[in-house]
Structures are given as structure tokens and as C-alpha cells.
Structure 1
Amino acid sequence: MNLNDHILLWNHVFIKIMDVRHTILAPGELQPYRLPSSAFLYIVRGEADVYLDHSRHRVERFHVLHGGKGARLRIFPDSGLEYYLLLYRATPGSANLREIIRLMEQDNPFLDQYAFVPHNPLTLYEKVELLEREWGDGSGLGKLHVRVLFHQFVYELLSQLYSQNVQAQKPDLVMQAADFIREHYSSAITLQQISGELDCSAGHLSRLFKNRMNTSPIHYLGQVRVERALELLLQTDATLQEIAEHVGYPDAHSLSRSFKKYKGLSPIRLKNELQKRKTSQDMPFSMLKSAVQQGLLPGYSDIENQFHYRPEGDLFMQGRFKFTAMTMVLCLSLLLTACSGAAGTNTNTNAAGSGNTANAVAAETAAPASAKPEEQAAAAQTTRTVSTLLGDVEVPANPQRVASDQYMGQLLKLGIIPVGVRSYMLTESWIADSGISADTIAGIEDLGGFPMNLEKLAYLEPDLIIGSIEKNIEDYKKIGTTVFLPYWEGESTSGPLDKFRRISEIFGKEQVAEAWITDYEAQVADARKKIEGIVKEGENVSVISVSQGTLYVLGAKGGNYGSSTIYEMLQLPPTEKALNMKDGYENISLEVLPEYLGDHVFVYGSGSEGASEILDTSVWKALPAVQKGQVYKYGSSTGEDDEFVMEDPYSLELQLDSIVKVMLGEK
């Protein structure tokens, strides 16, 4: 940030002095302290190593350091240290509010971290000494003098800061958030609380976290809890209830659900698996755990505003899963073991549950059981060439063992029952209404998160793997033929019908896909007739998502959470801003919301945590659409596990029905 913008902010923000402290430390470490607000640290005498987050500063007399809210401060004095700590909070004032908020979101200097020795240290010392004395006075006049002295201190500091061309370091909000989560995982924390601790918006933090970690902060919180619970499960005799309460879950049932979501197994079964491997394999226990555990940060989840996930972003913190030599040995042994039972495990791919379309199509496309061995061999050798973003791939013409980290609904609608999928796929809400038998779903192996568990994947011997994240493709290729089909492209997603067609092309099932699309388009035409006249000629609509106190406006193309059903299928007219959202969404503040809304407003996740921070405000209640009753709330109360999370054919049919019922006042 240049000096003029920095000065502009100091002139137009409201400064509240939170505390002024004069401290003398004996040798030893100051316990880690998370700054409750922005702060200046002014060293009077002594020498020390001072850490702001993970940055080390060697300081001595007259050093000045600055850190923002949420930064972790640690001090290691050599032989004692005397310093002043000035804690303050900066909030936008009323004048030029939008410009100030824009500057602070773009480059907030009140969160900057820096350390330097000013050229005129005694001038600053006089200000700080008097400031601390007046702070202790406690009178109203003294407090007024504190504000004056603080601004004088800042004036002198900025002058010297820029004259020395000191380069400030931006705080690493992602690592600060991860540190905060690891420190407070046993408490009931929310995204809003985490962002509040770091003095940034929830939406901004969520985007940064997902770009860096390939997962959301709340999903990461769940991983931290489950990892700690697993340690306690293996190292102690504590009960599940005791462990659950210790790591932040209300009861053992909630802990078990999270274990299945993150690890693919229940706590007890996972413990038994690990102990069995420990005693039966000639391999270090720590390495054996990798065969079942996913490790921290498996990546993307399908919940919590995932329409802005960037697959090209940095991979998660612990790095991509790498095959060590020992892991390769384990995979080979698993493959050899699997060969003897391949015939038995193959059967579930062609098992047809009675009365459901997917299984019926699967039965039609499966190779006849009576086929001669030579005919089966010829069929197995037949291949097709599929074009992908990573080049052409030769795939089996009729793959029998498909594994995929996305697209389970699309595969089933094409009559393809995968042998294994990512954990989240097995709990999607559309399954209950799909007519697919429980036995069929139970026969699909849970392969964990992103990337899919490679040992379990190798054991299944897939003849075709579909991966949706480019960084995982090379690992999948080591196991079998892999096709890269991104679910997200940049920050937006292709239309759901186009996506379905792309998947059908991989398997040569274009006719099956087009038959469903034709039927679905007939349902859409019928739905349009039902809602005809609700949105009148000349009116337009907006789609927003509210969750955790954050606000997103979804675009006319490339969005998610039902926006494609509303805009592309039902052809409800979007606003000009929705038409021009190249990324498929925009994260906005409440103040500018009226500029984005049309005559009718669809609200996704109105019952989710933090939604009331938007929907109970005077700004929201004053909107014309709200006052006219032209607001349509849809989606589950949590914003998770409902038909609007995914865009497979089953979800699209449910979305269409739900939106029509909401508009007609039936839901």
C-alpha cells in the first residue's frame, strides 16, 4: 500500500485504544499470545527473539514491531526485556465508507507485520511513555489525551516507516486460521468466529483457505478433530463418549459420523483394522496407518459454498500423497491378494436391483453371462479413444470396474455402478429418492476424500478411474487407466446437461444420456407452465446464498446451488449483474446487496448458521422484493446434504420439483 492510501485510511477510520501495557520480562519465554487487536510493540531495553506468527525478528532497544489481530506473539528474551504494548482497533468511519472498506479489503495496513528501528527513537519514546501514564490516569480527560498522543505516535511512526522504505509483510491468514483451529478445535467454533479473530470477512477467509488448502475451514476443523480423536482412540482406553466431548463433539454418535465421513470407517472398525495390521504385517505401525488413514487435509468437500473452489490452487498443506517404496510394496501385495478374489468382487458391478432405471440399463449393457471365453476376451481388448483436457486417453470400450471421485449420480443414471467412489458421494441426499436399492449403494466401496485412498483404490483393480482434480491424476494413473474430467473449470462449473453429456461420451452412452435429457426437458417445459405468470413481463430474478454470515450472489451461468435450474432450465430472467458474472458468483457485502437484487429473489440456505446476520437486518427487510413477498427460500437448514449441492440427473429432477413448489407456495 502506498503512503497516500495508508494516510487516507488513518484519516477515515475510527481508532479505539484497547490497552496500553508497560512490561518487564525476566529471561525465558513469554507464553504464546494471540493479539486481540492490532498492536504496536515498542522495545525500550534488552534483546530478544520475537516471533509474529512464524516470522522471527531479532530485536533490541528502540525496535518497533507491528502486528494485526489474530497474530501469535512469542518473545524469547536473552537477559530480560522491557517494552510497551499498544493495542488498538481500527473500524471504517461514516465518511467515504465504501472507498475505505474497499481499501481495507484490498490491502489492510492494520494487519501488516513489520519490525524496524526508527531514526528518531526518543521522539517515539516520549510519546509512548506519556501515553502509558495518561492511560493509567483513568480520567475522561486523560483518555482524550491518550487518543491525541496515539495519533501523534502514529504520525511520527508512519513518517519514519516510509522514509526508511520498510517493507511490511502481509499476514498469512490461512496459516493463522489453521493455527487457531488447531488451538481451539475442542470448542464450538464457527467460520464467523475464526474470521472475527483474524479481523477479516468470512467470505475472504473461506476463499483464501480453499485456494491454499483445497478444503474449507470448517471441513479442516472436522479433520483436526477426527485426527486427534484417532490418536486418543489408539493411545488410551478412553470411551468414545469421553473422546467425543474432548475433541468438540456433543456425543459418540456425532464422532462416529465424522469418522465415516473423513476416514471411511467407524472408529471401532478403524481401530481394529490398524491393530490387526500392526500385528499381522512386518512393517512399522506408523507406515501401516497410511493404508487406512487419509491424513490431514484430504481436500475439497462438496459443502459450504464450494462454487468458488479453484482446482489450480495450491495443494493442501501436507503435500500430495506420494508413493514411498514401502507403500509400493504394500500396493503390490494388495494387488496380488486381490487377484485371487477378483471374480467375487466383480459381481457387484453388474448386480441389478429390481425396479430402478440405473440397474436396468446396467443389466442391458453388461456382457452376457453366457458369452464364450474368447468372445469375452475380445470384448475386454476392445478400446475407445476419449479426448480430455490432458490429451487423448485410450479406455476400455465397456469398462466393468469404474472408480470415480465425482459423478456417482451421473454414472448410475447411465447404468454404470461404480466399484468405488469418494466418501461424500455415498451420503448424497438424492439417493433416498432415486429408487436405487440400498444393497446397490452398500456394494460401492468408500474410497475416502480427495485424493481417493490409493491403497484401497489399487485393491479394487479398476479398469477405469475418473478424476476431477488435475493434481491427483498422476497418482491415479499409477493404478489404472485414468480420465481427467474437471467438475470445476476455474471458479465456475459447466452446465449440468453438458457435464452429463461429457460423462456419457467416456462410456459411449450418448444415446442413454440424450434419452434422459429429452425426458427431463419435457419435465422442465411442464414446470414452466405451472409457474407461468409468477414472474411478470419485464421483471427479473436474483439468486443468493447466505451461510455463516457471508453473502454470495450467483451468476446466470457457471453457478451452483440451484442457480442453473432457476436460470437455465426454468429460464427465469436474470439481472444485468448476474449475466456479467464471469466466475459464476460474487461475494458481496450487505451494504451493496440492493444493487444486485432483482424483482424476485431466491435465497439458498436461509436456515443455515449465520444467515440471520443477513436476513434480520434493516437493509434486507427494506428490499422491494422482501416487502412484496417475492422471496423464495429453498435448500436445507444447514446448507449441506440437500438436492441443491450436486448437479447429477437425480438432483436436477429434485431441484426442479422443489423450486416449482417453493414458487407456488407449496413448500
Structure 2
Amino acid sequence: MKLNDHILLWNHVFIKVMDVRHVTLHKDKGLRNYRLPTSAFLYTIRGNAQIWLDQSVHKVERFHVLHGGKGMCLNIVTEDELEYYLILYKTILALPSSRDIQQLLERENPFQCQYAFAPHQPLSLYDKVELLEQAWRHSTELGNIHVKALLYQFVYELLAQLHRQGTQPLKPDLMAQAVAYMHEHYRQPLTLESIAEQLGCSAGHMSRTFKKHMHTSPIHYLGQVRAERTMQLLMQTDATLQEIAERVGYPDAHSLSRSFKKYIGLSPVRFKKERLQQSWHQDLPTTMLTYAVQQKPSRLYNDIDYQYRYKARGDIHMQGRIKVTAMTVVLCLSLLLAACSTQANTTGGTQTEANQTTAPTTGEKSNGDAQAGVQAKTRTVSTLKGDVEIPAEPKRVVSDQYMGHLLKLGIIPVGVRSFMLSEAWIEKAGISKDLIAGIEDLGAFPMNLEKLTYLEPDLIIGSMEKNIEDYQKIGKTVFLPYWEGLSTAGPLEKFRRISEIFGKEQQAEQWITGYKQNVEDAKKKIAGIIKEGETVSIVQVANKTLYVLAAEGGNYGSSTIYEMLGLPPTKKALDMKEGFETISLEVLPEYAGDHIFVYGSHDKGANDVLNSSIWKGLAAVKKGNVYMYGSFDDKGDEFVMEDPYSLELQLDSIVNLLLANKK
């Protein structure tokens, strides 16, 4: 980066000194694989050594300044006794800062840059670093201010000499750092956020940069590293799957098996069995079967700071050629099996109906190019956040709502929010348990970003605006709000909106037509139960709080009762601006209709309402015109959601309640 930008950013940050160390390394007592916990200055004042910052090696003699960012790997090999100072520091961008400054920091970040130079005026720097170390050693609350002041003096002198000597800092190789870190720490429960934290950058920046240069996501790459090590342990040991899982970063054998099959295309047990049956295994010693899904870690390898292990291979030329051949065969076979598995998999986001409304967006067919017939197809959909270009026929859909809508359209998502997987309508609607088991649990709002990245979705549907920006960093995202303020769109309108994303409007309208016919049949069955001039109200009791649902925009069955069956709401319900109102028990009589539907009568706190004198004094209660339904417990029921499956079940439930009370 430009030194002027470097200086500019130093003027816009606060500095926090984390540690100042004065270190003497004796000859042949170097430092091995110390990963910098923060940004750092290293100032050598005596001795000779070779110092590595990641893959860059520097020959230092006497006075030498080096700088490295958080997560860089520091190695020192001494040639004689080496004395140096190590200053560890953090920076925080001062607020408010202009957008240009924020973007410059995100793009360049001098505090992560690497540089090394021999200062022309070393004693000027030495005076300041010596005072800094002494002040740090004896610092008090007041002394900490002095420490900061001394560090600023050191930085000023250093930048001035950098400027005079024309030394330009180099941006760190973030990809090399990330790859090395994953190879070193794949045994640990890594997340996208934890890796980025160790490397001193944001999760979004690392993910974007990694995808740009590596053509895959960091978490997907980590899975490949673990798959490679799993293959080695399967073929070279008799360890159990649980033992291997604990060795390669998975909590249990089930998680390992599921991930291994995703990357290799078959289970670990089947992989080992088939490899042992292949004749070419008989010709190679087990120790020479080194499988490579991705590049190998560098020769400097460590599990924790200050540990070092170097394994010399010493392969002869012919042995190296055999190893490369073996690895190539394994990789090709693995990719072939994975491709076959992908074609056979019917639960990975496959759609049952092809999209007929799409058109290619790139390229014209060339007679001389055999590949020209394969064209990428996309569709443009309009959202509240603008037009979004999405795959015409997405195969790996993830959604934090709308699972029932997707399934009714023949789209099986690869991942959804946890609650979606335990909805009560699933079993009642006859949805296969195996189908649900194949859908990844992505946690609560917002969906787990690590798992989401791992799934590599080609389309994400988000229902909450605050989460959309995070989802967009991972893949194509469509924002489709479930709630609009405190109201919801009509359930049929919701279904239409979902169908429009996938170009399946015709399929949606076909279901809607059938559903409306069922509604008309239901109206005939319940005709006369609600007399002319009578009204209906819907009350919900939840955690000792009383709600009354609106005639429009409500939930928990209100759309079925009011909009579909056309039961007459009270004036209060008609006048509500939102989908519901929270009321006190004392004013309940003002909201009560001639017939009352009660949602959650068995939930916590409901008895306080239902046993009260106010409740028992209501005309509807005295006449027995009360209909208890639904429960918002841990799993919820078919009235919680408004997908097509839930609407079908709700219609039957409400009609049966009314018929049971028919006089």
C-alpha cells in the first residue's frame, strides 16, 4: 500500500498497547511458529538471525525493524545471541469517521501490513523503545497514558524514517494466512468468525477475498482439509470413526460421516472398504498413500504457540512420481463418486417442476465450441431491496421462513431455521421424516452464518431485513418479509410471492383454486352457526398477556377465520391498525364478540384469564360460544404458520370446532 495512506490511517485510530517485551534468545534457541495475537513491532538491537513473517524471510543484523499483523506466523532462527523488543498493540477506528476512511481501512489496513527495514538512525528508535518498555514494566493507571504517548513517539519516528528511506509496506497474503491457519488448527471447532478474528479482519472480508482467489468458501475449504485427513486416518490406522472425528474437528462420528459424504461422495466406511478392495493399493506401502483434496500445509507445522515440528520426507524421484499418481487417482475417483452422488440425491434442493419462464443471459451459441450449448440461466426478481438476479432454477435453496410454501411448490430446501424443522403441521401433513432429516438445521434468527456458508446455497430467502446484509455476503439473497410492521400479508398473497421467485405462479394458482373451493364447501357446512348480526372475536393468551387479533393482518388462524371463512369480526377488530392489540383483562368485554375463539387456552398463564370473573361474565362464555384451539408451546402447531399445509389443516380444525358446537 501507499505510505501516505498508511500515515493517514494512523491519524484516525486509537491505540491500545497490549504488551511490551524485552527478549534475549540464545544461540540455537529460536522462536518457532508464534502466531501474532495482535499487530506487532519487532525491533532487534543486537545479534544476527533469520526471521520469517509468514513465508517472507528477513536476514537481520543488529538494528532492524519488522512489522506484522494479527495472525501472521513468526519464526526466528538465531545465528548468535539475539536481543529484541516486541511491541503488541491493537487499533480502534475513531468514531465518527468518514466513509472513505472506513473503506480505506477495510481495503488496505496498514496494521495488518508486513514490512522490514534497517533504520538509518537506529539509536533514535532505540531510545524510544527502551523508554516504552520501562514505562510498561512500571505502569500505573496514570502511567498507561505515558505508555501510549511513548508508543506514538516510536510510531512517529518509525514512519518518518520509512518515509525518508522510501520503504513501502506490503499487504499481507490473507489467503496464505487463512490456508495455513486452517491446516494448523483444523482439529479445533473453527468458525468463519473465529478464523477471521485470528487473522485480524472481518468475516465478510475474508469470505469474499477467499472466494475470489480460491474459488470456494473458507468453511468449504476447511471441510476439504478435514476430509483429506480423514482419508489418511481411515487408510493408515484402525481408529474408530469417533476417534477420527475427535481428531479432525468434529464432535461425533455422525457429524464426521455426514460431512465426509458431502465432500467425497460416499460414507467413510464405504470409502475404506472400496479402497481396500482396489488392486492398486496392494502395490503401494500404506505410508505412501497420501491423499490430497487441497494443497498441503507448509513444512512449518504447529499445534500451539512455541511448538515446532519438521517432518523430513526425503522422497526419491521415482517414489515422488508414484505418490503423485496415487493422489491423482484418488482425487479423480473421489470427484467422480461425488458427481454421481449429486445426481442421485433427490433431497438437496431439487425442484419437481422445471421453470419454463427463464432465458439465458450470457453468450450466443458458437458452432465451433462444444461447450457453448451450456449457458448460465438467470431470472430477475423484484424485492423491497431492489431487483436481484438469481439462478433460473436454483438447486440449493436456504430460507429462514416459508419451508411449507417451498415444499408445496416441490422445492426441498437444503437448510432452514430450526423452528421450521419442528412445526406441528409436518407430521399431520404426512411429510416424510427422511425428507426433513435431509434438511440442515441453521439455528435461530439470524441463521448460522458458518453453516450457511458451508452449504454453499445458490439462493437464500430472508424474512428479516436486519439479517439480509449478512446473507448477501454468502450468496444470492431475496428479501421477502414475513411480517410487515406488526401485520402479515395475506397467506395466499405470501404463497404467490414465493411462487414468483421460482417462476411457479401457475402451480401456486392451481393449489389456490383448489383451496378456495374447499373453503366454499366449508362455508356451506357451517352455515347458520354464526347467526345474522352476531360477531366473532379471536383472543390469544400467552405468558399472562392478553391479545386480540385484528380482522386483517393477524396470525394464529385469524386469516382462516376472518378472511377465508368470512366470519364477521367485531368493530374493534376491524379498526385495528396492526395485526393485533395487547389489552388488559379489564377491557376484554369491549373487544369480545358473540362468539370467541381462544388461541392457547392450555398455555402458561391462560388459567389466570379463563378462571377470572371477567371472563366468566362474558355473554359468549355464558352461552357456550367459545372455541378453544391451538397452543404456542415449544413446537407450536399448525396455526403458527400460514403456509399451504397449515392453511389446509386450519380450515379443517376451525370447521370441526364450529360443527361440534352446532345447536
What is the TM-score with the length of structure 2 in the denominator? Answer: 0.52
Where 1:170 maps in the other structure, the secondary structure is: coil
- The alignment status of 1:602 with 2:600, answered yes or no, reads no
Distance 1:229-1:158 versus aligned 2 partners, 3 A rule: same
> Which residue matches 1:641?
none
| Separation of aligned partners in 2, 1:649 and 1:235 | 50
Question: Which residue does the alignment assign to 1:92?
Answer: 93
Aligned-residue offset at 1:429: 3.8
Q: Deviation digits for residues 79-121 of structure 1, max 9, x if unmatched?
A: 1210000000011111325343212012111111000011111
Aligned counterpart in structure 2 of residue 548 of structure 1, from 445, 449, 462: 449
> Any conservation in 2 of the 1:14–1:91 contact (CA below 8 Å)?
yes
1:81-120 equivalence runs, <5 A: 81-96=82-97, 98-120=99-121
| Contact 1:9–1:100 under 8 Å retained in 2 | yes
How far does residue 498 in structure 1 lie from its aligned partner after superposition? 8.6
Match for residue 460 of structure 2? 561
Match of 2:293 in 1: 295
Whole-angstrom distance in 1 between the partners of 2:88 and 2:327 = 54
Cα offset, 1:421, TM superposition: 3.6
Which residue is equivalent to 1:352?
none
Aligned CA distance change for structure 1 residues 222 and 123 (closer, same or farther; 3 Å): same
Residues 13-49 of structure 1: CA distance to partner in whole angstroms, max 9, x if unpaired?
A: 1110000000000123312111111100000101111
State the match for 2:10 in structure 1.
10
CA positional deviation for 1:275: 1.9
Contact 1:430–1:650 under 8 Å retained in 2: no
Q: What is the aligned partner in structure 2 of residue 22 from structure 1? A: 22
- Does the Cα contact within 8 Å between 1:546 and 1:603 map onto a contact in 2? no
Once the two structures are superposed, the pairs formed by residues 271-350 of structure 1 within 5 Å of their partners are: 271-278=272-279, 295-296=293-294
Q: Which amino acid aligns with 2:24?
A: I
- Write out aligned runs for 1:357-506 (5 A): 421=339, 423-424=341-342, 426-427=344-345, 429=347, 434=352, 484-486=374-376, 496-497=391-392
Taking structure 1 as reference, are residues 328 and 226 closer, same or farther at Cα in structure 2, changes over 3 Å only?
A: closer
Q: Which amino acid aligns with 1:561?
A: I
The amino acid of 2:87's aligned partner reads: L
State the one-letter code of the partner of 1:47: N
Q: CA RMSD in A?
A: 5.3
Q: Deviations over 1:609-633 (max 9, x none)?
A: xxxxxxxxxxxxxxxx88656799x
Contact kept, 8 Å, 1:601 with 1:630, in 2: the verdict is: no
State the Cα deviation string for residues 473-495 of structure 1 (Å, max 9, x = none).
xxxx9xx9995444799xx9965
Cα distance, 1:38–1:212 mapped onto 2, change above 3 Å = same
Distance change (3 Å), C-alpha of 1:278 and 1:23: farther
Question: Deviation of residue 256 (structure 1)?
Answer: 1.3
- CA shift digits 1:512-549 (9 cap, x unpaired): xxxxxxxx9xxxxxxxxxxxxxxxxxxxxxxx996539
8 Å contact from structure 2 (residues 393, 502) kept in 1: no
- Cα 1:482/1:294, change in 2 over 3 Å: farther
* TM-score (structure 1 length as normaliser): 0.52
Q: 1:653 to 1:161 in 2, by over 3 A?
A: farther
The equivalent of 1:187 in structure 2 is 188
Checking the alignment, whether the CA contact within 8 Å between 2:43 and 2:63 is kept in structure 1 is yes
Cα contact 1:487–1:493 (8 A) shared by 2: no
Task: Output the CA distance in 1 between the equivalents of 2:191 and 2:166.
Answer: 39
Provide closer, same or farther for how the CA distance between residues 24 and 251 of structure 1 changes in structure 2, counting only shifts above 3 A: same
1:143 correspondence with 2:144: yes
For structure 1, the residue ranges without an aligned partner over 5 or more in a row are 299-321, 335-403, 406-418, 437-469, 471-476, 501-519, 521-543, 553-558, 567-573, 589-596, 605-624, 633-643
Q: Secondary structure at the match of 2:460?
A: coil
Shift of 1:295: 2.0
Residue 666 (structure 1) aligned with residue 642 (structure 2):
yes
Partner residue, 2:202? 201
Alignment correspondent of 1:240: 241
Are 1:92 and 1:100, in contact at CA under 8 Å, matched by a contact in 2?
Answer: no
Change (3 A) 1:325 1:240: closer
CA deviation vs aligned residue, 1:313-341 (integer Å, no higher than 9, x gap): xxxxxxxxx9999689989xx9xxxxxxx
* Alpha-carbon contact 2:15-2:91 (below 8 Å) kept: yes
Contact 1:71-1:176 within 8 A present in 2 as well: yes
Q: Give the secondary-structure state (helix, strand or coil) at the position aligned to 2:50.
A: strand
* Shift in CA distance, 66/496, structure 1 to aligned 2, threshold 3 Å: closer
Q: How many residues align?
A: 409
Task: Give SS of 2:80's match.
Answer: strand
Residue 79 of structure 2 aligns to a residue in which SS?
strand
Aligned amino acid, residue 159 of structure 1:
A
Q: One-letter code of the match for 1:53? A: D
Query: 2: distance between equivalents of 1:100 and 1:85?
Result: 28
Q: Indicate the residue corresponding to 1:344 in structure 2.
A: none
**Aligned equivalents of 1:657, 1:261: Cα separation in 2:** 35
**What is the match of residue 563 of structure 2?**
none
Asked if the contact 1:223/1:296 (under 8 Å) is kept, the reply is: yes
Identity rate, percent: 46
Change (3 A) 1:55 1:421: same
Letter in 2 for 1:237: D
Letter in 1 for 2:449: Q
Q: Please, which runs of 5 or more residues in structure 2 have no aligned partner?
A: 297-320, 355-362, 364-368, 380-386, 396-408, 410-444, 491-497, 513-552, 560-640, 644-663
Please tell me whether the aligned partners of residues 262 and 294 of structure 1 are also in contact (alpha carbons under 8 angstroms).
no
Q: Matched residues in 2 for 1:631 and 1:200: separation?
A: 40
Deviations 1:210-263 (A, max 9, x none): 122221111111111121122122222211111111211121121111221111
Where does residue 75 of structure 2 map in the other structure? Answer: 74
Alpha-carbon offset, residue 197 of structure 1: 1.0
Corresponding letter in the other structure for 1:170 = K
For residues 184 and 41 of structure 1, the distance between their equivalents in structure 2, rounded to whole angstroms, comes to 25
CA–CA separation in structure 2 for the residues paired with 1:435 and 1:550:
28
SS of the equivalent of 1:31 reads: strand
CA contact (8 A) 2:208 2:473 kept: no
CA separation in 2, counterparts of 1:8 and 1:422? 54
> Structure 1 residues 328, 21: closer, same or farther in 2, change over 3 A?
closer
| Mapped contact 1:69–1:198 kept (Cα < 8 A) | yes
Whether the aligned pair in 2 keeps the contact of 1:256 and 1:267 (CA below 8 Å) is yes
Cα drift, residue 77 of structure 1: 0.8
Q: Is the 1:601–1:631 Cα contact (8 Å) retained in structure 2? A: no
Amino acid at match of 2:75: R
CA contact (8 A) 1:249 1:255 kept: yes
Instruction: Tell me the distance in 1 between the aligned counterparts of 2:92 and 2:6.
Output: 14
* Deviations, residues 389-429 of structure 1 (Å, cap 9, x unaligned): xxxxxxxxxxxxxxx99xxxxxxxxxxxxx99464555464
SS of 1:18's equivalent? strand
**For 1:177 and 1:145, how far apart are their aligned partners in 2?**
36
The C-alpha deviation readout for 1:113-138, integer Å capped at 9, x for no partner, is: 00001111101000000100010003
Contact kept in structure 1, 2:378 and 2:391, CA below 8 Å: no
TM-fit CA distance, 1:496: 4.2
Q: How many Å apart are 1:274 and its aligned residue?
A: 1.8
Partner of 1:260: 261
1:284: how far off? 7.5
Partners of 1:67 and 1:112 within 8 A in 2:
yes
